[in-house]
Amino acid sequence: MSSNLPPLRSPLDLERVLEFEFVRATENAALQSIHWLGRGEKELADAAACSAIYGVFDLLDIRGEVIIGEGIKDNAPGIFVGEHLGTWKTGSPRFDIALDPIDGTTNIAKGTPNSISVIAAAQKPDGAPSAMKNIPSFYSHKLAYGPAVKRALQKKGDRSFLDMPLKEVIAFVAEALGKNMRDVVVVTMDRPRHGALIEEVRSCGAALRMITDGDITAAVAPSLPDSGVDMYVGMGGSPEAVLAAAALKCLGGDMDVRMWFHDEAHRAEVALTTSEAEMNQVFRSDDLIMGESALFCATGISDSPLLPGVKLIGHRVETHSILMRSRSGTVRHIHASHDLDRKVVPLRG
Ligand code: VTB
Ligand code: MG
Ligand code: MG
């Protein structure tokens, strides 16, 4: 019997099959790092999460290359740019991978909320250009918003929010969401470098929520229907901007991102390899995640607007993860209960 419907899946769409292995990796990282919650040992937490991620990829027949990894910011133990993940068996699918084994290691060290393990990946044909942009600056200026604001922005000729006074941006977001300014919830990280920005949010009467760390969850929050967050703004890590962009591409929200330099020496260093135009460019999610599709997954370690953290209940451990792909737009919430007495935990080292 013939059918006019497209095939259920293309044999080449291996992202669809393999995405569940990626979420196993973030689950494993969350399960391993939970033991470090509150122990004041950032680096040991990071090392545990890395070993857990390596452990899962060591079993996976892919040819994965890390395009965005940890380490550039804080010299923590990490999985670095250029590393190979997967078995690299001949003919296995090629993936570009961005990851942060723990976003929010300080939070883990202190036992505070807002830490996750996160991976984004894009399948790509051999020889194709990189599917993700590795921004060379430590920090980027980011302003993230949800789908309704994105649609309103497109109607107004697609100006960049980063070129508008923050007050105007908040007024725009309020209008797009049908809210009063005072009900627009803006999240930023509590940092001295955000002093002027914080003053501006307060002076226009909007609702401000400050977090200590972990701005991937903050940037994704406005695109989640029930997060209670309308926008995220601030200067945070550039790798975290690209990871959040993968999620936003799946969820239909977006983010304006521009390199931001904390000192002149760093600007000069980046200028050696980057044009002035690129240093001033405003990137959107599609500019950072260039491939035709991408997957994003994250598992909560401690509670965040994106995900509940790991819970230890008797002999079992519960994890909450989110898994999504931009091609299909499917967003899965995966609540898993792990029996640590029976589970074989893949680890490296
Ligand atoms: C940022 C943010 C991260 O660390 O990189 C921040 O993107 C570092 O900021 O999510 P400081 O250099 O001011 O400490 C995180 O919050 C956690 O890695
Ligand atoms: Mg990290
Ligand atoms: Mg991080």
- Could you give the ipTM of this predicted complex? 0.98
Pocket test of ligand 1: the residue of 100, 106, 213 to mutate, having most ligand atoms within 8 Å of its CB, is: 213
Instruction: Quote the ligand 2 centre to 147 CA distance (angstroms).
Output: 27
**Ligand closest to the CA atom of residue 237:** 1
Residue 4's pLDDT is what? Answer: 57
Query: What's the CATH code, domain 139-288?
Result: 3.40.190.90
Mean confidence (pLDDT) of the chain: 93
Q: Which residues contact 292 (CB under 8 A, 6 or more apart)?
A: 327
**Ligand closest to the CA atom of residue 106:** 1
Residue 38's pLDDT is what? Answer: 96
Query: 14-131+293-339: which CATH topology?
Result: Fructose-1,6-Bisphosphatase; Chain A, domain 1 (3.30.540)
Instruction: Quote the ligand 3 centre to 326 CA distance (angstroms).
Output: 22
- Tell me: pLDDT of 278 over 60: yes
pLDDT per residue as tens digits for the range 282-336 = 999 999 999 888 999 999 999 999 999 999 998 899 999 999 999 999 999 999 9
Instruction: Quote the ligand 3 centre to 4 CA distance (angstroms).
Output: 46
pLDDT per residue as tens digits for the range 89-126 = 999 999 999 999 999 999 999 999 999 999 999 998 88
Residue 159's pLDDT is what? Answer: 83
**Ligand closest to the CA atom of residue 238:** 1
Residue 162's pLDDT is what? Answer: 97
Residue 2's pLDDT is what? Answer: 46
Enumerate the CATH 3.30.540.10 domain ranges in the chain, comma separated: 14-131+293-339
pLDDT per residue as tens digits for the range 48-90 = 999 999 999 999 999 999 999 975 445 667 899 999 999 999 9
Residue whose Cα lies nearest atom 9 of ligand 1: it is 236
Find how far residue 304's CA is from the centre of its chain: 13
Paired sense of beta strands 185-189 and 207-211, if any: parallel
Residue 349: which pLDDT band, with cuts at 50, 70 and 90?
Answer: confident
Residue 344: which pLDDT band, with cuts at 50, 70 and 90?
Answer: confident
Give the DSSP per-residue string, 189-244.
E--GGGHHHHHHHHHTT-EEEEESS-HHHHHHGGGSTTS---EEEEEEEHHHHHHH
**SS3 for 166?**
helix
Residue whose Cα lies nearest atom 3 of ligand 1: it is 214
Please state, for a pLDDT cut of 90, what percent of the chain lies above it.
86
| 342 to 120, 315, 316, 317, 336: CA distances (angstroms) | 29, 10, 10, 12, 14
Instruction: Quote the ligand 1 centre to 313 CA distance (angstroms).
Output: 31
Pocket test of ligand 1: the residue of 110, 189, 233 to mutate, having most ligand atoms within 8 Å of its CB, is: 189
**What's the pTM value of the predicted model, to 2 decimals?**
0.95
Q: Is the CB of 104 under 6 A from ligand 1?
A: yes
Enumerate the CATH 3.40.190.90 domain ranges in the chain, comma separated: 139-288
Question: For 151-174, what is the mean pLDDT?
Answer: 93
Q: Is the CB of 213 under 6 A from ligand 1?
A: yes
Q: Which residues contact 226 (CB under 8 A, 6 or more apart)?
A: none
Q: How far apart are CA 165 and CA 310, in angstroms?
A: 39
